[in-house]
Amino acid sequence: MNWRGVLAIYRFEMARTFRTLFQSVVSPVISTALYFVVFGSAIGSRIQEVEGVSYGSFIVPGLIMLSLMTQSVSNASFGIYFPKFTGTIYEILSAPISYLEIAFGYVGAAATKSVMVGLIILATAGLFVPLEIAHPWWMLLFLLLTAITFSLFGFIIGIWADNFEKLQIIPLLVVTPLVFLGGSFYSVDMLPPVWQKISLLNPVMYLVSGFRWSFYELSDVTVGVSLLMICVFLGACIFLVWRIFATGYRIKT
């Protein structure tokens, strides 16, 4: 493993984050704070508690997951797309570094940035609502697995996209709606029976459910099922990244 090459890509991507600090970190934190104000005041005044937890506290895991997933996809997709757009991807491909090491560098940086944003949002949430983390190690595990998985997913999107419009269409039209419909701001048990069954088809619901369990021991499905689903998604993303580099899909041509 060429760790110097991986570290070079990682450092370059992290340096880009600190050059655009407001866009990369401050902007998502401000957006999440507005969610607390809007949902906590407007809906929280009508829904006092959800399964014994105040509504403001109940939505914290969902808000963190919303930011974590969107930031992971955005960071990783732009990170690999921009070298393709400028043509510098060929310099990376010609360097003495394997495809696996290239993926490690970009995905590792995107996941790191997303986890940073998630932890900052968690600290910010503590200023608005009382927080309780029943299982902090499980919380960190779900945080890391989700960041890595969706960074890999964003990496795939960045390779697939051939213009900036395609780069944004998946996060805007697929990821964000799935997060909103995945129980981020409500419990699936509050839905009619038919919609509860439909919600089980949403993979994001399992991630939000497992992450919320680590806070309040409340979940729509068992934590084992949540962990299994994210591992399946992670394995699928790893396989797709391997196939992309093995075939040179939209990289060598």
- Per the model's pLDDT, the better-predicted residue between 208 and 96 turns out to be 208
Tens digit of each residue's pLDDT (9 = 90 or more) over 41-82: 666 556 667 777 888 788 889 889 988 898 899 889 988 888
Q: Are 197 and 180 in contact (CB under 8 A)?
A: no
Residue span of the structural domain in which 223 resides: 3-247
Tell me, what DSSP letter sits at residue 192? -
- Mean pLDDT (the chain) is 84
In a domain, 238, yes or no: yes
Cα angle, residue 168 at apex, residues 140 and 243 outer, rounded to 5°: 70
In a domain, 42, yes or no: yes
Q: What total number of domains does the chain contain?
A: 1
Q: What is the pLDDT of residue 107?
A: 93
Count other C-beta atoms under 10 Å from residue 217's C-beta. 13
In a domain, 21, yes or no: yes
pLDDT for 18 beyond 70: yes
pLDDT for 147 beyond 90: yes
In a domain, 173, yes or no: yes
Strand partners, 50: 53
Confidence band of 23 (pLDDT split at 50, 70, 90): low
Tens digit of each residue's pLDDT (9 = 90 or more) over 118-146: 888 888 888 777 888 999 999 999 999 99
SS3 at position 155: helix
Tens digit of each residue's pLDDT (9 = 90 or more) over 189-198: 888 888 888 8
In a domain, 253, yes or no: no
CA–CA distance, 171 with 167 (Å, rounded to integer) = 8
Note every long-range contact of 82-91, with CB atoms under 8 Å and residues 24 or more positions apart, other chains counting: 84/158, 84/159, 84/250, 84/251, 89/251
The most distant pair of C-alpha atoms in the chain lies apart, rounded to whole Å, by 60
Q: What is the pLDDT of residue 185?
A: 80
Confidence band of 174 (pLDDT split at 50, 70, 90): confident
Q: What is the pLDDT of residue 187?
A: 82
